[in-house]
Amino acid sequence: ALSQGYDYLFNVEQDIILPPDALKRLLAHKVDVVSGHFWGRPSTGNALHTCCLMWDPEHGIGGSKVRSIEKATDYPKGELVKVYCVGYGCLLLSREAFEKLRFNQSDDGHWSWEVPRQGFSLWCDPTVQCGHIDRDGCTVWPDKGIVYA
């Protein structure tokens, strides 16, 4: 991507189902680092968890508490949301961000900590709702929960 002179890198993992206009909607925000919204499950059990975590507004960015979104409806409606952690699943990076950030391929959440250290904000568009194909072949949707094939 860098040697070809592209302005953005759009990373989509093999187990993510995108809405048809995901790239167009993420690009429209004109930010350096933005993710679509997707959910997953831990390796055991059926508890759903978001792959985007917000700072608890009472403690501010860098505060001691993190607000995990329990339901897709808990996100502010129609807004770009500042987050502190996202996975690689549906991720758009500007060229500048891609040049400065280091990625650990073994754990896609921890790289998020590097984003503010390099001077960027990390955003999630909760309206770009992606399906996440899970370990047993079902698809986890932010707005529908677990859907079995």
Say which residue the tokens 């699943």 belong to. Answer: 89
Distances (CA, A) of 12 to 8, 74, 91, 115, 121: 13, 24, 7, 19, 20
Rounded to an integer, what distance in angstroms lies between the CA atom of residue 49 and that of residue 140?
10
pTM of the model: 0.80
Q: Kindly report, residue by residue over 16-64, the tens digit of the pLDDT.
A: 999 999 999 999 999 999 999 887 765 556 666 666 665 444 544 444 4
Q: Which residues pair with 110 in a beta bridge?
A: none
Structure tokens belonging to residue 58 = 């009472």
The region, left, alpha or beta by phi > 0 then psi within -120 to 50, assigned to residue 143 is alpha
Taking only the tens place, the pLDDT of each residue in 70-106 is 555 566 666 788 887 788 889 999 999 999 987 766 5
User: DSSP label at 56?
Assistant: P
Instruction: Please report the pLDDT score of residue 95 as a whole number.
Output: 94
Per-residue tokens: 119:
């001077």
Average pLDDT estimate for 2-24: 92
